C-alpha cells in the first residue's frame, strides 16, 4: 500500500511560563500540537486559525502567528500515513479549553521528562528547534 500524505497546520502555543501546549484527540494516545487539515481552498495560516478556534475556543490574529518551519513526519494516529506540516509559533496570554475532538490538554516545560506518547512531528522536529536537547531530563 502506498503511504498517504496529509497536509496540516499546527501551532506551538507557549504560555507566560514558557510551557508548550500539547493536545490529545479523543480515542487516541499521542500528544501533539493543536491544529489540523486545511479545508479546500484554505491556506495554511487560515486553516490553523480556524482549527485553533474549533479545538481550543482560541481567537488569534494572523499577525500573532510566526512561521517556525515546514516538516515531514510519520502521522501519530494513522498507519501508512505521513504529514507535511506547516508549523507556527505564538504566545498564549490566557487559558484555553479542549473542544471539538480534543479530549485532553497538557503542558510541557523545558526540562520535563518527555512522555512516550509524543507525536513524531513533536519529538523529531519541533522540540529540538524550540528547546536545545540539553534541557531535557
67 CB burial (10 A radius; 0-12, 13-18, 19+): exposed
pLDDT score of 71: 97
pLDDT score of 133: 65
pLDDT score of 137: 46
Q: What is the mean pLDDT of the chain?
A: 91
Average pLDDT over residues 93-106: 87
pTM of the predicted protein model: 0.91
8 Å CB contact between 59 and 69: no
Assess whether pLDDT exceeds 60 at residue 86.
Answer: yes
Average pLDDT over residues 41-46: 94
For the chain, give percent helix, strand, coil, nearest 5: 20, 35, 40
Q: Which of 94, 83, 100, 80 is nearest to 24 (CA)?
A: 100
d(CA 19, CA 66): 17
| Residue 13: all three cell numbers together | 502555543
d(CA 137, CA 134): 8
Assess whether pLDDT exceeds 70 at residue 134.
Answer: no
For the chain, the residue count is 137
Complete domains list, the chain, with CATH: 4-132 (3.90.79.10)
Amino acid at each position: 500500500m502506498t503511504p498517504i500524505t496529509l497536509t496540516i497546520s499546527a501551532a506551538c502555543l507557549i504560555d507566560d511560563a514558557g510551557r508548550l501546549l500539547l493536545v490529545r484527540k479523543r480515542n487516541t494516545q499521542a500528544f501533539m500540537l493543536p491544529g489540523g487539515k486545511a479545508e479546500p481552498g484554505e491556506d495554511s495560516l487560515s486553516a490553523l486559525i480556524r482549527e485553533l478556534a474549533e479545538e481550543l475556543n482560541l481567537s488569534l490574529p494572523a499577525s500573532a502567528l510566526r512561521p517556525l518551519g515546514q516538516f515531514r513526519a510519520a502521522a501519530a494516529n494513522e498507519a501508512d500515513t505521513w504529514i507535511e506540516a506547516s508549523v507556527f509559533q505564538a504566545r498564549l496570554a490566557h487559558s484555553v479549553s479542549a473542544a471539538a475532538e480534543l479530549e485532553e490538554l497538557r503542558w510541557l516545560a523545558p526540562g520535563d521528562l518527555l512522555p512516550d506518547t509524543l507525536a513524531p512531528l513533536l519529538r523529531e522536529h519541533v522540540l529540538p528547534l524550540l528547546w536545545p536537547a540539553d534541557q531535557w531530563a
